[in-house]
Amino acid sequence: MKILNVDQIRSLDQSTIQHEPIAPINLMERAALTFVDWFVDRFTPTTPTKIFCGLGDNGGDGLAIARLLLEREYPIEVYVVRYAPRESDDFMHNHRRLKLVFDSVHYIELTHDIPTIRHNEVVIDAILGSGLSRPSEGIVEDTVKAINRAPATVVSVDIASGLYPNQPNGSTDVIIEPDYTVTFQLPKLAFVLPKNGRYVGDWHILDIQLHKRYIDLAPTSYYFTQPREARLLLRKRDRFSNKGSFGHALLLVGSYGKIGAAILAARACLRSGVGLLTVQVPQCGYTILQTVVPEAMCRPDGNQNVLTGIAPADQPGKQGPALTDYSAIGIGPGIGKAPETLVMLKNLLPTLKKPIVVDADALNLLSENRELLNQLPPNSILTPHPKEFERLTKKWANDYQKLDLLREFAQKYRVVVVLKGAYSAVATPDGDIHFNSTGNPGLSTGGTGDVLTGILTSLLAQGYDPVEAAVLGVFAHGLAGDRVAEQRGPIGMTASDVIDALRWE
């Protein structure tokens, strides 16, 4: 699903109005009806509901919603925040229509006009929508603050009042902090950015049948991966396939005290469908790996405690296939930053032709030796969390600048970058960014990153295109986390639970 900017959304409205064709007021009615369907599914008809409306089309939505809830006999109160002398046409139309059936619309001009909001009430926030052009001030600011202070459940129409859809807010901006945001047709970029969490709440997209062809043709570099799209990426298996059909992956993982990372990456790799898996660990990990993951072959490193890439002294030249023969290589989980491991990385990178997966300390080694970034095979997948990404680049002032850095980095080095977190962002060498829709805070626990490395290495080894591997792998990883959270709650989830919950269907 595409994420479009405010100007595009405005043109999308116009395009719908012209091509369907539909009168603007009827489009607003359709949006309001769809909102009301969502609302009545969640809140019973006895819920005292206060609707706060601004003077633009967001306020127009609020007034239409008020009328439709009144028809369904919800106990509503309507407040119009009169912050300016001018009202939009569709606001005025809906204002007239509401007043025909409801004679007690309240007007907020001064602070003492703001009502007391109680805990059992629901507030519908339709003060400002995507037309926001400056920070809230005066009576708008006072009303927003009063709503935020109130113990009620708050539902924002389209977007929280005061939040910019696709540009950074100032640090002192006053913005509604809703429990829910119910938006129309497409997500807004603001919804997937970490700093905005409290200004978005639990958000939902309602289909109001805007012009599909406009959406299909609209240029964008931002996407939101939905289940249907992720499933389309999943390859069907041929009945006559054999283990050779699904590649042979190599994981370069683990060091003394961190063999667990190697095990997690290996188990996740196998659970994601690779044909064969070899794991290279320092010798201290040999027995552990062979015991815990019997399905994997082990390629012991010559060193006892850290990876060096050099074969053991008693079996020179007997380490199996050359590194370049593997279908895909994943490197990083648990490897540490020993000088020998850096030498291994330096020797390895120039020999590789196929994309690899780079995670954890391999990323930290790259950030301390940035000249190595130019040696990454094109289309390799890097999986930093924000701190690791900062080490690879620099500090950012806000989430939007972070996205710019992410895009520049992926384009400059021709790599795929998975920036991990809520709505993990997959940046492609072509400059696109795909935000993931699955996952929950339970995944913020040790080892889940190792699991992701195993998944991505497995998909690369099976021949998936690196961008598709990253989008699909991140989606499946988050979905597995969601399954665990559903069964046992998000707190106390372990990386092993996530592996067990992986399903490819």
Ligand X SMILES: NC(=O)C1=CN([C@@H]2O[C@H](COP(=O)(O)OP(=O)(O)OC[C@H]3O[C@@H](n4cnc5c(N)ncnc54)[C@H](O)[C@@H]3O)[C@@H](O)[C@H]2O)[C@@H](O)CC1
Measured in residues, the chain has a length of 505
Taking the complex as a whole, the smallest distance from the CB of residue 359 to ligand X amounts, in Å, to 39
Please tell me the distance from the alpha carbon of residue 313 to that of residue 310, in angstroms, as a whole number.
9
What distance in Å separates the CA atoms of residue 463 and residue 451, rounded to the nearest whole number? Answer: 19
Measured distance CA(30)–CA(23) in Å, rounded: 11
Nearest to 281 by CA among 257, 264, 306, 260: 306
Closer to K ion by Cβ: residue 66 or 357 = 66
Choose among 37, 31, 40: nearest CA to 59: 31
Least separation in angstroms between CB 391 and ligand X: 38
**Residue with smaller CB distance to K ion, 94 or 428:** 94
Which residue's C-beta sits nearest to K ion?
161
Tell me the C-alpha distance between 426 and 470, whole Å: 7
User: Does the annotation list 461 as a binding residue?
Assistant: no
327 binds K ion (CB under 5 A): no
Phi-psi map region of 318: left, alpha, beta (phi>0 left; psi -120 to 50 alpha): alpha
Q: Per the annotation, does 327 bind a ligand?
A: no
Q: Which does 56 bind (CB under 5 to 8 A by kind): ligand X, K ion, none?
A: ligand X
Min dist. Cβ of residue 31 to ligand X (A): 4
Helix (H/G/I), strand (E/B), else coil: 40: helix
* Torsional class of 482: left (φ above 0), alpha (ψ -120 to 50), beta (otherwise): alpha
Task: Decide: 105 and 99 in contact? Cβ < 8 Å.
Answer: yes
Q: 4-43 mask for K ion (x: CB under 5 A)?
A: ----------------------------------------
57 annotated as ligand-binding: yes
Site membership for ligand X, residue 274 (CB under 6 A): no
Quick one: 140 or 335, whose CB is closer to K ion?
140
Nearest CA to 487 among 449, 440, 444?
440
CB of 49 to K ion, least distance (A): 15
Q: Write each residue from 4 to 43 as x if it is in contact with ligand X (CB under 6 A), else as -, in one continuous string.
A: -----x---x-------------xx--x------------
Q: Does 178 bind ligand X (CB under 6 A)?
A: no
Cβ proximity to ligand X, 124 vs 451, nearer residue:
124
Yes or no: say if 263 and 288 are a contact pair by the CB < 8 Å rule: yes
First to last CA, the chain: 20
Kindly identify the residues of this chain, within the stretch 124-153, that bind ligand X according to CB under 6 A: 128-136, 140
Which among ligand X, K ion, none contacts residue 83 (Cβ within 5 to 8 A by kind)? ligand X
- Measured from the CB atom, the residue of 20 and 202 that comes closer to K ion is 202
Q: Of residues 158, 301, 359, 482, which one binds ligand X by CB under 6 A?
A: 158
Q: Any binding-site annotation on 450? A: yes
Quote the strand ranges of 4-61, DSSP E.
49-53
Q: Taking CB under 6 A as the rule, does residue 172 contact ligand X?
A: no
Between residue 336 and residue 365, which ones bind ligand X under the rule CB under 6 A? Answer: none
Q: Which does 132 bind (CB under 5 to 8 A by kind): K ion, ligand X, none?
A: ligand X
Q: Cβ(208)–Cβ(20) under 8 Å?
A: no
Q: Interface mask (CB under 5 A) for K ion, residues 454-493, using x and -?
A: ----------------------------------------
- What is the number of H-type helices and E-type strands within the chain? 16, 17
What is the residue whose two structure tokens read 């978005």?
200
Q: How far is the CB of 156 from K ion (least distance, A)?
A: 5
For the segment 96-155, give every residue that binds K ion (CB under 5 A).
125
Closest separation between CB of residue 112 and ligand X, Å? Answer: 20
CA distance 449 to 223: 23
* Least separation in angstroms between CB 479 and ligand X: 29
Nearer to K ion, 98 or 250 (CB): 98
Q: Is the peptide bond before 21 cis (omega within 30 degrees of 0)?
A: yes
CB of 165 to ligand X, least distance (A): 8
Distances (CA, A) of 70 to 20, 135, 430: 29, 32, 50
| 156 touches, from ligand X, K ion, none (C-beta below 5 to 8 Å by class) | K ion
Task: Assess 156 for contact with K ion (CB under 5 A).
Answer: yes
Residue from 15, 56, 259, 332 binding ligand X (CB under 6 A): 56
Is residue 54 near ligand X by the rule CB under 6 A?
yes
Whose CA is closest to 128, among 63, 53, 178, 192? 53
Candidates 150, 210, 356, 470; binder of ligand X (CB under 6 A) is 210
Chosen residue from 8, 15, 49, 88 binding ligand X by CB under 6 A: 88
Dump the DSSP string for 202-232.
Answer: EEEEE-----HHHHHH---SEEEE-HHHHHH
- Pair 354, 327: CB distance under 8 Å: yes
Residue set of the binding site for K(+): 58, 125, 161
Interface with ligand X (CB under 6 A): 9, 13, 27-28, 31, 54, 56-61, 83-84, 88, 128-136, 140, 157-158, 184-185, 210
